[in-house]
Chains A and B, each alone.
Chain A
């Protein structure tokens, strides 16, 4: 939003700092009321300031320059030398001064940055709360990589590593929808490890890509050395500790052609289906999932070890003992399957599940299994924001729509009855879909953060055990009312009993529903 401070549009909030008398004087100046001008020629010699002087004074009064300055989350600049404009950078945005001027950066500017920052030449982008842009060169520094915790920063021009390579790592994604995969499209490899190596496989330097896939890597090597740039299927950032290995335990990696040290300043790496893009898809899904978990208050994430290899037939599963997540060779582009398994990692590390495991097909099963699987599916569809479970395969695979479908229970049975895992996911989606609600279910106002708050804050700690022994839907519902109060009793009753025919008794620790 831009407000022009011309005429009598006053920024009293800013002027107020000057004290009432000075503020009033400056305000009047800004309004153009400049005292008597006997002959009306605006001649300063007359003792009255001209209109242009008055406007110029407005810029002076607010300390505004043509380049602009940052004040209270807004850009204040003098435009055309005659008026002051204030541009509010808005919620989540920030005012930054770089490259000779002030400007607003919206929250969207962070989309390509990530937790370790980004170098754009010697401009440093950081998004640690709000976007920030720093001109390292203005301080006689360069933009470089410190380590996997600090990431990119302004650093002293490093004499020890005089060579620099910039570039991007991208991989071919294929967007998933029910029954089909879209044609390959290059997307950024977010937060992946990139190294410069010599011909003896000695690592000379290592950095991580920003979320736009870009990297800046500084290194030293003899001019006669042959070096290459290699991207690895691993995120080393402490914010996203995940790696993807093949069935033999090797990271997937793709290298540039070798070149003489210092001879190349730009390297672009594109990982295609033929060179293993599915592994990078698995990595990106885990990065995406970890970002969601971190955004909901989990500050320290446990390492995750993903295994995927073309042609493998291991099945897809998560193993809690070693935090390993195994994806079947057929599931490389199956984002929902990958995120469903990520959901089991989430349950294991930050929430709770007593899933007995075993083969399952969505038909009514042990409520602990229904909770474990349905809860994991909800994590997947909530991260994607699309209420479909999809398992793609030759011939189109299969899918389940989870917004309008109802896999009902039996009102005449107990809370411990066998349930469909689909019903668990459907209930959680209906509770969380808020403004995305397409079926006008009874739980209109619920949100995904509210559901996550119960998963993390209630099931993630000590909690009561009702319903079937072990964690099940009943326990999550108890946690819902304990965390969010009984205001949703009526709508939850309609949702659970009328729509899903589930005989929840509304008798948890939050007290009886009215």
Chain B
């Protein structure tokens, strides 16, 4: 009897498709920055964003976003853009302040839970400049990384290099 049970378990073990383990929300603390680029020539919102994501457990993480205007602004709005795969467990999804000076910071903190396999969460800072509401975003990827796209590199006859993908 014991032998039959062992065989049955072995068959069950071989035939059941083991579900892939749910990816962790983030492997380790991750910091994403978005600031006015020194070399950039496009008009940019005069505000710097730093987002820090600290894992709590496999599915939860603490997100802290700091917005720091690089010039005095009349108002600042800081908001999270949360997709359906992410639940806000605590904290506010947005904050608004009045005028603040250059170098002063405002911080938004929230605890997030990843319900799907992967998602992108964005923090967006909006500031008015000369009548135009400009924005800056910092995007944090949660969960499984996108599938790796295999590529192949070589030189063309004129020496130009190419990185070729084959979906």
Contact = CB atoms under 8 A, between A and B. Distances in A.
Contacts of B165: 253-255, 275-276
Given A252-B163, A253-B162, A420-B130, A357 B156 contact: no
B37 A341 contact: no
Contact of B36 (A232, A253, A359, A420): A359
Contacts of A250: 153, 161-163
A328 interface: yes
The CB with the most chain B CB atoms within 10 A, among A195, A276, A360, is that of A360
A253 B43 contact: no
Contact of B162 (A251, A257, A275, A422): A251
Interface stretch (A8-16, A94-102, A397-405, A434-442): A397-405
A210 to B, nearest CB: 21
B131 A405 contact: yes
Contacts of A389: 43
Interface string B156-167: 110011111111
A306 B139 CA distance: 24
Interface string B113-130: 000000010101010011
Contact of A274 (B126, B149, B161, B162): B149
A316 B40 contact: yes
A295 B149 CA distance: 39
A28 B39 CA distance: 78
B132 A422 contact: yes
B39 A315 contact: yes
A421 interface: yes
Contact of B42 (A228, A243, A337, A355): A337
Given A314-B39, A364-B130, A234 B44 contact: no
Given A250-B153, A398-B134, A407-B130, A362 B39 contact: no
A282 to B, nearest CB: 14
B40 A359 contact: yes
Interface in A248-287: 248-257, 272, 274-276
Given A314-B39, A317-B41, A394-B120, A275 B133 contact: no
Interface in B14-50: 34, 36-46
B20 to A, nearest CB: 20
B132 A362 contact: yes
| Interface range, A side | 35 or more
A274 B130 CA distance: 38
Interface residues of B, number: 45
Given A201-B154, A362-B43, A373-B43, A396 B163 contact: no
A394 B149 contact: no
Nearest to A270: B167
Interface string A382-411: 000000010101111110100001010000
B65 interface: no
Contacts of B132: 362, 398, 400, 422
B130 A363 contact: yes
B81 interface: yes
The CB with the most chain B CB atoms within 10 A, among A256, A275, A359, A420, is that of A359
B142 interface: no
Contact of B39 (A317, A330, A363, A395): A317
Consensus secondary structure, chain A interface: mixed
A273 to B, nearest CB: 11
B79 interface: yes
B135 interface: yes
A398 B122 CA distance: 15
A145 interface: no
The CB with the most chain A CB atoms within 10 A, among B129, B139, B166, is that of B166
B102 interface: no
A203 B157 contact: yes
B137 interface: yes
A203 B155 CA distance: 10
A255 B167 CA distance: 8
Nearest to B124: A395
A232 B130 contact: no
Contacts of A255: 164-166
Contact of A395 (B41, B122, B164): B122
A422 B130 CA distance: 10
A230 interface: yes
Contacts of B130: 361-364, 407, 420, 422
Interface of A: 195, 201, 203, 228, 230, 232, 234, 243, 246, 248-257, 272, 274-276, 313-318, 326, 328, 330-331, 337, 340-341, 344, 355, 357, 359-364, 373, 376, 389, 391, 393-398, 400, 405, 407, 420-422
27 contacts: A230-B162, A253-B162, A274-B149, A275-B149, A315-B41, A315-B42, A316-B40, A316-B42, A317-B41, A317-B42, A318-B41, A328-B37, A344-B41, A361-B130, A362-B132, A362-B134, A363-B130, A391-B135, A393-B135, A393-B136, A394-B137, A395-B79, A395-B124, A395-B135, A396-B135, A398-B134, A421-B43
Interface of B: 34, 36-46, 70-71, 79, 81, 120, 122, 124, 126, 129-137, 139, 146-147, 149, 153-154, 156-157, 160-167
A-B pairs, top 9 by smallest CB distance, nearest first, are: A315-B37, A315-B40, A394-B122, A395-B124, A250-B163, A253-B164, A317-B41, A393-B137, A201-B154
Given A250-B153, A359-B37, 18 more contacts: A230-B162, A248-B163, A250-B163, A252-B163, A253-B165, A275-B149, A276-B165, A313-B34, A315-B41, A359-B38, A361-B134, A362-B129, A373-B41, A394-B124, A395-B124, A398-B134, A407-B130, A422-B130
